[in-house]
Amino acid sequence: MKRTLAFAITAQAISVVILLFLAFKFFGQLNTMSAFTESVEHTYQVINQISTVQSYIKDAETSSRGFLLTDKKEFLRLLDRSKVEVFPAIDSLRNLVNNDTAQLSILRSVERSVYRKIWLQIENTRLKKRMLPDSLLARLIAGRLIMEHIEASMDKMRNNELLLLKERRKLKREYELLLPGNVRISFIITGLLTLVFGLWIYIELKKRFRFQALLQHKLMELRQNNEELEQIAFAASHDLQEPLRKIRIFSDRLLLKTKSSHNEENYQMTERINVAATRLQNLIADLVTFNNLVQNKFEINSISLRDLICQCIDMAKQKLPGMEVSINEDELPVIVGSEEQVLILFQQLLNNAIEFRSPHRNLKISIETSKVKWSQIKGLPGEMTEGNFYYIKLVDNGIGFDEAYKSKMFKPFQRLHNYETELNARRKGMGLAMCKRVMLNVGGWIDATGQVGEGAIIHLYFPIL
């Protein structure tokens, strides 16, 4: 469910990225269209400026000829104005064609010809009265030739711009025809992607909401089941214990009677009844304890493992006085948890070491302490992915166990050894299950390694808070 929703959200994110890409593409096309329009307008500006420059040059030529033919000073004023205006116009034209090398080269030639033409016109007006008619005619012919060169050059510039205008207008028209289709396709693709992925996310969210509602319903059922289990546990701890106590009381009396009557068969039957009742009573007591651990309604406080483990060792030595325990009490840390639960933990571990000791050697137990990081712990649950831990290693030289069956040793009612203990009561398979529950309650972890006939090692990891 989570993976599907994550994939749908990723797909929606991709569609948004595609939408942004298409938007940038659309704006790029608009910018290109604007660039085409600006290029067309620029060409028109160049053509208009060429006409303006030609107009000023023609005005200068006309005013110069008019003064030479009529000797009227009005033509000189028109000539002076044209001379003043023509060069700024040429500069403006140069700025417009600055990026066109061919046009710029033609314009430089025109500018040089205009300088010569203006200089010749000034000389003609200044020397008019001192020149012979033949000399004046020769100057006019020379001026005309320069003017023809200027006009030819300006016409060439205009023709170049007209060709460029035709090409740019063609490209603009083609782009104008393609632009609406591209925009439509972009928006259709974007709309479809958004619609598809949006619908997909809606479906996935609907499934998720339905799953959450089902989960809520299951949680209510689980809460109901827990309440019923609590009632069963209460009944086991009270209602079932009473008839068992009566069975044991009467079986004890029968044992005394059958023993005094010297009826061996009746005595053995009564003894088996007594042993079965004792086993059942102990099993119910363990079930009650395990249920209390699962409920985890104990008081939480700071615990000195030094005091608690020493207390458990003293209790264990009362059961087996000859056992040897090596421990560095100064290295034992202070943890946070329930003292009652941690007491159950070490009692069960030491009881296991006693009950599964080797018959060929004295029981020896060593307890070592160190600090480790979560990354150094093997088999740690996925939710425990950070932090440091107090590591307590409890090693014994008992009968050990086969690690092939380790997966079931921390489960309730699972037994790796089914033989009868010296108390003549088969193991119930609840000790290590209770130990694991205690470690989970304190936020830690438990593991075990061992070899058959060599002994067992219990690994305890308490979180450093």
Question: Going by DSSP bridges, is the β-strand pair 445-451/301-304 parallel, antiparallel, or unpaired?
Answer: unpaired
What gap in Å lies between CA 130 and CA 118, rounded to an integer?
A: 19
Residue 94: count other Cβ atoms within 10 Å of its Cβ. 15
Q: Report mean pLDDT in 10-residue bins for the chain, 465 residues.
A: 60 69 68 70 81 78 71 69 76 82 81 76 64 65 76 82 78 71 72 77 81 86 77 68 78 78 77 82 79 81 90 90 87 89 92 89 92 81 77 92 82 65 53 89 90 90 88
**pTM value?**
0.55
Q: In this structure, is the dihedral angle defined by the CA atoms of residues 242, 247, 250 and 252, taken in order, positive or negative?
A: negative
- Residue 126: predicted pLDDT: 65
Residue 117: count other Cβ atoms within 10 Å of its Cβ. 24
**Main-chain phi, psi angles of 453, to 5 degrees:** 80, -10
Q: What is the length of the chain?
A: 465
Q: 3-state DSSP call for residue 311?
A: helix
Give yes or no for a contact between 341 and 438, defined as CB atoms under 8 angstroms apart. Answer: yes
DSSP β-bridge partners for residue 364: 324
For 317-347, what is the HEC assignment? HHHCCCCEEEECHHHCCEEEECHHHHHHHHH
Closest by Cα among 144, 111, 140, 113 to 124: 140
What gap in Å lies between CA 299 and CA 132, rounded to an integer?
A: 132
Give yes or no for a contact between 448 and 379, defined as CB atoms under 8 angstroms apart. Answer: no
- Residue 171: predicted pLDDT: 72
Q: What is the pLDDT of residues 355-397, one digit of tens each?
A: 888 888 899 999 999 998 888 787 777 666 678 899 999 999 9
Q: In this structure, is the dihedral angle defined by the CA atoms of residues 278, 279, 284 and 287, taken in order, positive or negative?
A: positive
Tokens linked to 367: 């307890």
Give yes or no for a contact between 365 and 398, defined as CB atoms under 8 angstroms apart. Answer: no
